[in-house]
Structure 1
Amino acid sequence: MIKFEDVGKKYPNGFEGLKHVNLTIEQGEFVAIIGLSGAGKSTLIRTINRMHDVTSGKLTVDGVDVMSLSGKQLRRFRRKIGMIFQSFNLITRTTVIKNVLTAFVPDMPWFRSTFGIYTKEEKLKALECLDKVGILDKAFVRADQLSGGQQQRVALARTLAQNPQIILADEPVAALDPVTAKQVMDDFKRINEDMNISVLINIHHVDLALNYATRVIGIREGEIVYDGPASEATQEVLDRIYNGRVDKEGNVQKEVG
């Protein structure tokens, strides 16, 4: 369980990224976080794994106060939380399987990590994770030879190798074409349902958020303005989240002027 209790985040320049956030997210939920650029979507998910520190309130994960962690405790805590980025963050000049194997490095003795020595069990686990996202056949291909969608699947397989309880995804399909974006979202949905992994996705595609997530959190200027089932996110709700700049097809209109 992830619990935000009156959480705020203020940056050194005085900007408030989050204001009085109160949320409870149960294990196994698929949550999409939507809102305009700069509304606080990325800030919200990045506080969960302490990429950003909260400045007020309390944030707990499975009863653990996130801000109380440091050193080895914090590193161990982060191992339970996978993070997917828009830019994939792969080592593009090496093979797909070697990218997935990097998931084991934090838990390896220094000599094995230094020389890239992996056990048979680790290699089998990496191949299993690639199979779960449908690109086992690309295991020994260089990452830079893959399409954008395939690279995002490698990043997802690498995250699965951690055995996470939670996956945070920061605009994971923003750089993909519509067809590929849906394929990647299918992977997230299947992993969520089959493995009971909590998935929190910060996403700017409103239609994908409504079609794939079971719960939608709308954020505007750092405040939660909607939290409920995707099926109940009406046009009126979307207008409140996006300040009237989203059409009936789910396209966000750019601000003029």
Structure 2
Amino acid sequence: MIQFVDVTKTYTNGTTALNHVNLTFEQGEFVAVIGLSGAGKSTLIRCINRIHDITSGTIIVDKVDVAGLRGQHIRQFRRRIGMIFQSFNLVTRTTVINNVLVSFVPGLPIWRKVTGIFRREHKIKALEALDKVGILDKAFVRVDQLSGGQQQRVALARTLAQNPDIILADEPIASLDPVTARVVMDDFKRINKEMNISVIMNIHHVEIALEYADRIIGIRKGEVVFDGITSQVTQEILQDIYGGKWEAEKAAIEEQPAYVR
């Protein structure tokens, strides 16, 4: 489904975020990407849907060379890939359903984009997506009246409404409390299994990554230093992924306030 072939990403300031990365993701996998801040986790995910362009190498998604896409073809390609951010990226002054309906805007004629008038089928799909993440009852509530966990579930529903093959999640639970984080992770896991949607998640919470993901990719200084099933991950492997700083990293996470963890 997704293949990285000798991929390197170097930013204009000279920082090499990815260094000769070779990876293959199969359809339906739940993959967690872990490593220190600045290791290249977010860059890895954001290169898949061309938020970031790679410097060299090739990324293939379903036999399509992503780097070769231009204009409308990029937009069509991105329709197949849902993106979930830590910051939710919602319009807080409008209703939940309106935020989900945004996922249909790229395919609308100009007059519908201008007037904000959606077809009945779009509204039904939006409501179905909200039902899948358990917040159908919040459809006509303003987003700014929801909790952080509920807002992240709105973001997930918006992604589901576009019927993606892949969901990329960039630190989706970083701003949630531990209990709410697991509720959101339960949604990701259920969607992954029931809908066979690939989930590739950059996550700082290693214990949650090990609990929910089927496969772990460890990145250190832009290089993949571990790629294997969750049950293979040991304390020694974590030390290697975190450059010998695993115990300090673990302690720092545990010391953070609950709303950060």
Q: TM-score, normalization: structure 2? A: 0.95
Is this contact kept in 2: 1:18–1:44, CA < 8 A?
yes
2:149 is aligned with what amino acid? G
Partner residue in 2 for 1:86: 86
- Determine whether 1:160 maps to 2:160: yes
CA distance in 2, matches of 1:181, 1:64: 34
Taking the aligned partners of 2:139 and 2:245, their CA distance within structure 1 comes to 43
| TM-score under structure 1 length normalisation | 0.97
2:56 aligns with: 56
Tell me the secondary structure at the aligned position of residue 169 of structure 2: strand
* Aligned residue number for residue 122 of structure 2: 122
Consecutive unaligned residues of structure 1, counting only runs of 5 or more, are: none
1:77 aligns with 2:86: no
Identity value in percent: 69
Corresponding position of 2:259: none
Q: 1:183 — aligned with what?
A: 183
Task: Give the counterpart letter for 1:223 in structure 2.
Answer: E
- Which whole-Å CA distance do the structure 1 matches of 2:165 and 2:69 have between them? 18
Distance 1:18 1:252, change over 3 A: farther
Structure 2 matches for 1:1-257, cutoff 5 A? 1-247=1-247, 251=250, 253=252
Q: Compute the RMSD of aligned alpha carbons.
A: 1.2
The one-letter code of the counterpart of 2:204 is H
Counterparts of 1:197 and 1:227, CA distance in 2:
20
Residue type of the alignment partner of 1:155? A
Alignment correspondent of 2:256: none
Residue 84 of structure 2 aligns with an amino acid whose one-letter code is I
SS at match of 1:251: helix
**Separation in 2 of the partners of 1:73 and 1:96?**
29
CA distance in 2, matches of 1:222, 1:155: 28
CA-CA distance at 1:252 after TM superposition: 5.3
Structure-2 separation of matches of 1:93 and 1:240: 45
Residue 252 to residue 70, structure 1, CA distance change in 2 (3 Å): farther
For 1:212 and 1:12, the matched residues in 2 are separated by 36
Label 1:5 to 1:213 Cα distance change in 2 as closer, same or farther (>3 A): same
Give the Cα–Cα distance (whole angstroms) in 2 for the partners of residues 5 and 30 of structure 1: 20
SS state at 1:20 partner: strand
Tell me if structure 2 keeps the 8 A contact 1:245–1:252: no
Alpha-carbon contact 1:214-1:229 (below 8 Å) kept: yes
The alpha-carbon deviation at position 28 of structure 1 amounts to 0.4
- C-alpha distance in 2 between matches for 1:3 and 1:156: 24
Number of equivalenced pairs: 253
1:253 Cα shift? 3.7
Letter of the structure 1 residue corresponding to residue 28 of structure 2: G
* Cα distance in 1, alignment partners of residues 206 and 251 from structure 2: 8
Distance in 2, matches of 1:238 and 1:174, equals 20
CA shift, 1:243, in A, is: 1.9
| Deviation of 1:31 (Å) | 0.2
CA shift at 1:251, angstroms?
Answer: 2.2
Structure 2: stretches of 5+ with no match in the other structure: 254-261
* Equivalent residues of 1:60, 1:66 under 8 A apart: yes
| Runs of 4+ with >4 A deviation | none
AA at the equivalent of 1:10 = T
Q: 1:36/1:231 Cα in 2 relative to 1: closer, same or farther (>3 Å)?
A: same
